[in-house]
Amino acid sequence: MNQVWPIFKREFAAYFATPLAYVFIVIFLFAMGAFTFYIGHFYENGVADLSVFFAYHPWLYLFLVPAISMRLWAEERRTGTMELLLTLARAALGDGAGQISRRLGVHRRGAGAHLPDLDHGELSRPSRQWRDPGELYRQLPDGGRLSRHRLCISATTNNQVIAFVVSVVVCFLFTISGAPLVLDFFRGWAPLALVNAVASFSFLTHFTAISRA
Amino acid sequence: VIDLRDLIFFFSLIALFLTANVVIVDLKTGLSGCHEPLSRRFYALAAIALAAVIFVALNIAADATFTTERAST
């Protein structure tokens, strides 16, 4: 952890030194507000749970998280700080963990900013679930696994655009692997165990189960 | 109640890609100690493939184990 903390501080401060982090937070808040209250008809449903709020998170992360993470290693290479980082007496695991923690920190700030939205409104007496801070952190495993994909793919290429596109494609494949369209393709020729294995690797399946909990 | 299978899936996936990330960074910078480019690539691919196999096996095992326990109760 001693190795991770300085890298986290440096990268986290770099995000907020430019408008990049603020732009992403504002986009995230506007998009989640629109998805939850307008497209998801949160108030019209009359149900005091956050299932509508969480339902759109994986799809929003599919584009927002690659956009943040595509520059992680690629930027280090472009600016020439990669050599500086890797010649210091640290393990590569510490670098990776520091980069991830920084990105999760930005992500968590965006998620926490939703709290005032949920404290007032038509449902003036929120249930215990609304006040539960765990609600906000249940999405973190989802953001965490997304950022690992992006971090890994960012390390494979110098080009940020390629990193972004490949990240989106990989995560999209993981997301829809549990969809009937994909499973029907496998059912024709694959054994049932393989079909079940493919279905169990879907992000949506696991994310829905965790958000329901 | 959070299902243990979901936690295993997410954390094993995180471990898989973090491992792949470390291997790729080592490969690009030549920190692995092996100087032959072909050998470095081979070992990197083998390491990532091994991590992927462990990830798949762990999830299938967890799925089978906890689903059986749940059905029996």
User: What pTM value is reported for the model?
Assistant: 0.66
At B14, is the secondary structure helix, strand, or coil? helix
**Per-residue pLDDT of chain B in tens (73 residues, 90 and over written 9):** 778 888 888 898 889 888 888 888 877 776 555 566 677 788 888 888 998 889 888 888 887 787 765 555 4
- Asked if B2 and A213 touch (Cβ cutoff 8 Å), the reply is yes
**A3-12, A40-49, B31-40: segment of lowest average pLDDT:** B31-40
Q: Which of B21, B22, B23, B48 to mutate to test the interface with A (most CBs of A within 10 A)?
A: B21
In 3D space, the residue among A155, A57, A156, A157 whose CA is nearest the CA of residue A107 turns out to be A57
Q: Which of A196, A198, A200, A204 to mutate to test the interface with B (most CBs of B within 10 A)?
A: A200
Contacts of B3 in chain A (CB under 8 A): 209-210, 213
What type of residue is A78? R
Rounded alpha-carbon distances, angstroms, from residue A115 to A70, A118, A119, B12: 28, 5, 7, 30
| ipTM score | 0.71
Contacts of A156 in chain B (CB under 8 A): 24
pLDDT tens across A156-175, in order? 677 778 888 888 888 888 88
Q: What are phi and psi of B3, to 5 degrees?
A: -70, 135
Look at A125 and B12; give whichever has higher pLDDT.
B12
Contacts of A142 in chain B (CB under 8 A): 10
For B8, the closest chain A residue by CA position comes to A206
For B6, the closest chain A residue by CA position comes to A206
Across A162-190, average pLDDT = 84
Q: Which of A61, A145, A203, A207 to mutate to test the interface with B (most CBs of B within 10 A)?
A: A145
- In this prediction, residue A49 carries a pLDDT of 80
Rounded alpha-carbon distances, angstroms, from residue A110 to B22, B48, B73: 28, 33, 41
- In this prediction, residue A1 carries a pLDDT of 65
- Asked if A103 and A147 touch (Cβ cutoff 8 Å), the reply is yes
- B27–chain A nearest CA distance, Å: 10
- A52–chain B nearest CA distance, Å: 19
For B31, the closest chain A residue by CA position comes to A86
For every residue of chain A, which 3-state class applies, written as one string? CCCHHHHHHHHHHHHHHCCHHHHHHHHHHHHHHHHHHHHCCHHHHCCCCCHHHHHCHHHHHHHHHHHHHCCHHHHHHHHCHHHHHHHCCCCHHHHHHHHHHHHHHHHHHHHHCCHHHHHCCCCCCCCHHHHCCHHHHCCHHHHHHHHHHHHHHHHHCCCHHHHHHHHHHHHHHHHHCCCHHHHHHHHCCCCHHHHHHHHHCCHHHHHHHHHHC
Look at A19 and A151; give whichever has higher pLDDT.
A19
Asked if residue A139 has pLDDT above 60, the reply is no
For B5, the closest chain A residue by CA position comes to A206
